[in-house]
């Protein structure tokens, strides 16, 4: 599961880099959707790791960026994982 979280992090970083290079608004929107999906997946994986007592340390995002990802989707949850 840790490798899955790293994969999602890398997706987020790579797609956000691509967004900054694209002029077409439709493509930007599509990339934005893909980033959102990766953020959802990352949040779910980090939550599952936390519930199993495993602390996840981000590899490609800063801890603050990971916190932002988590907070932006927080309404589905009532607590932050232990890494925060």
Higher pLDDT, 80 or 2: 2
| pLDDT for residue 53 | 87
What is the per-residue pLDDT across 19-75, written as a single tens digit (0 to 9) for each? 999 999 999 999 999 999 999 999 899 888 888 988 888 999 998 888 887 776 555
Q: Is 26 exposed, middle or buried (0-12, 13-18, 19+ CB in 10 A)?
A: exposed
Residue 45's pLDDT is 92
Q: Note the pLDDT of residue 78.
A: 47
3-state class (DSSP) for residue 17: helix
Q: Token digits for 13?
A: 């970083």
CATH number of 2-76: 1.20.1260.10
Q: pTM of this prediction?
A: 0.80
Instruction: Tell me what the mean pLDDT of segment 1-15 comes to.
Output: 95
């Amino acid at each position: 599961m840790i490798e899955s979280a790293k994969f999602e992090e890398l997706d987020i970083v790579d797609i956000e880099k691509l967004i900054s290079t694209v002029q077409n608004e439709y493509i930007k929107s599509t990339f934005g959707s893909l980033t959102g999906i990766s953020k959802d997946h990352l949040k779910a994986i980090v939550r599952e790791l936390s519930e199993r007592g495993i602390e996840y340390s981000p590899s490609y995002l800063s801890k603050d960026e990971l916190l932002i990802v988590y907070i932006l989707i927080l309404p589905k949850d009532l607590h932050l994982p232990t890494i925060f």
